[in-house]
Structure 1
Amino acid sequence: MHRYTSVFFDLGRTLVYRIVTQERTLRLLCSEVGAPLLPTPDWAGAVAIWRAYHSSHYLTCRNLAQENDLIFREAQLILNHLAPGFTEEVADRLAMGLQASTRWWSLYDDVPPVLNQLKVAGRKTGIISNWEPSLEQFCLKMGLAHAVQVAVSSGVEGIEKPSPRIFQIAMERMEVEPENCLFVGDDYRMDVVGSRAAGMTPVLLDRNDRYLETDCLKIRRIDELFDILRGEPVSHPTTPVCFASYSL
């Protein structure tokens, strides 16, 4: 029997990437909804406000209704900064645009064939991501739902990577053991440290050679994952990256 029967993935910058910057997103949406912008809108400031509020509040959302409420509050904060004379209708329309997140993301071109091959080979696949409760809906709209058996979001669970617990929750739902699992992600601290602490074998996806020194398996494209599954070497770990380990 093959050692690795299951492969879990991170989502952002692993399977999908943002094709429109957050600033460009706001520029487009504010134009579309007819926001009464100030003469010199501070777009960078609006993005900073959006990011800060979202990162400090999204873990309070456990379901889609709460997530929608959060997005509406974010829309109001953004408009307070860019277009103080906005109406509630404009805020509603901006929130709806922000909710349509698949508009701003795309799959990496190597992802669909790899997920299909894993499925044909009978390997279980899942997603573990620091994402909002809408993760499953997002995966469905991006064409990922058919290829993964489990999608676990920090928003629903109230736990973020790199906590080992969120990885353990995913394995429990998949009914698999850590020693039979690979976890593929692009961030050393969040993905490698967290999955390793949960007993998985981490695989660092480094598409742009951000990590010159690693103490784990490293690939540059998702399809190199098959070398690992076949037991073939893909890289030679060198000096460890200096991040503290994470434990429960």
Structure 2
Amino acid sequence: MPLPQSPTRHTQRPSRFRAVFLDVGGTLLHEVPPREAIYAEVAATHGRPLPPAEMRRRMLAAHHELGRVHDGAFRYSDPWFEEYIARIFGPGPGGLGLDEDRLASATAELFDRFESSGTFRLYPGARELLRDLRDAGLVLGVISNWSERLPRVLSALELDSAFDFVLSSAIEGVEKPDRALFELALERAGVPAEAALHAGDHPAKDVAGALDAGLDAVLVDHSGARGDLPGIRRVEGLAELATLVLSETA
């Protein structure tokens, strides 16, 4: 569904922020069911049933083995994911033993699942947040450690029109918390660091990374489980994030 319309149009109070950057996974949306359950479902369709917890263990091991760059492929790029899936499902050591044809089928199925809008659920208030920030005249951007499929995911969820630009780590070849990705966002937005805020769910990748680049930062803690962290501003939902941003006056 498209972004909701404002119930009443009015002039927002001026904000000291001219741009807001948002993480995607764990901030605007989440996977349903969890990723390891999706991988386990695909394994079961190819005759390799196993519990999601065991699949998660295999996924973490493959992620650790591959690292940030593998054979020139940056993390979360399609070639990186092809090798990642092969290590989990393929005939190699520790793999589930699928032959070449079934491995290709499982890989295609997983790529399709993680590009489908049906795999993702927006957190409450996501569309309203984007609407309100756009109504306030803010530049909106995405900074996400994600595959090159991210723009298509946002399009499938009808969120793409909300953003002025989308930065995916796999496309840019740099990932959070590297300050270079935040600096690229500032360049795209055309604002200085002190006029921008980044919000995300990871204390190190999102908050520390943004602060290191000179931006303001907010931790989005949907579960409320993290509690207060020294020196970190925290909100427990996207409605609270919208209130915080729009209350920051010049």
Query: Does TM, scored on the shorter chain, surpass 0.5?
Result: yes
TM-score by length of 1: 0.79
1:229-244 correspondence to structure 2 within 5 Å: 229-231=245-247
TM-score by length of 2: 0.79
2-side partners of 1:68 and 1:224: how far apart? Answer: 35
1:9-48 correspondence to structure 2 within 5 Å: 9-32=22-45, 35-37=46-48, 43-48=55-60
Q: Which runs of 5+ in 2 are unaligned?
A: 1-13
C-alpha change, 1:60 and 1:208, in structure 2 (3 Å) is: farther
How far is 1:22 from its partner? 3.0
Which of 91-100 and 210-219 deviates more? 210-219
Percent identity over paired residues: 24
How far is 1:149 from its partner? 0.9
1-side partners of 2:48 and 2:234: how far apart? Answer: 46
Q: Which residue of 1 aligns with 2:139?
A: 124
C-alpha change, 1:220 and 1:88, in structure 2 (3 Å) is: same
Q: Which residue of 2 aligns with 1:88?
A: 100
- Post-superposition, which runs of at least 4 consecutive aligned residues in structure 1 deviate over 6 A? 38-41
2:180 matches 1:165: yes
How large is the Cα RMSD of the aligned pairs?
2.9
2-side partners of 1:59 and 1:225: how far apart? Answer: 40
Deviations 1:206-245 (A, max 9, x none): 2223032331322111111233234369xxxxxxxxxxxx
How far is 1:166 from its partner? 0.7
1-side partners of 2:51 and 2:146: how far apart? Answer: 33
Q: Which residue of 2 aligns with 1:245?
A: none
C-alpha change, 1:184 and 1:95, in structure 2 (3 Å) is: same
How far is 1:152 from its partner? 0.9
How far is 1:45 from its partner? 4.3
Q: Which runs of 5+ in 1 are unaligned?
A: 234-248
Greater RCO (Cα-Cα under 8 Å, separation 6 or more): 2
How far is 1:30 from its partner? 2.3
2-side partners of 1:229 and 1:71: how far apart? Answer: 36
Instruction: Tell me, yes or no, if the aligned pair for 1:7 and 1:182 is still in contact at 8 Å.
Output: yes
How far is 1:88 from its partner? 2.3
Q: Which residue of 1 aligns with 2:151?
A: 136
2-side partners of 1:110 and 1:124: how far apart? Answer: 19
2:235 matches 1:222: no
C-alpha change, 1:39 and 1:168, in structure 2 (3 Å) is: closer
Deviations 1:39-64 (A, max 9, x none): 9995354323443345544794469x
C-alpha change, 1:219 and 1:44, in structure 2 (3 Å) is: closer
Aligned with 2:211 (options 160, 180, 196): 196
> How many residue pairs are counted as aligned between the two chains?
228
Q: Which residue of 1 aligns with 2:111?
A: 99
1-side partners of 2:39 and 2:26: how far apart? Answer: 21
C-alpha change, 1:213 and 1:43, in structure 2 (3 Å) is: closer
2-side partners of 1:133 and 1:104: how far apart? Answer: 17
Deviations 1:54-108 (A, max 9, x none): 5544794469xx9333333233222234542x33221111111221214432211
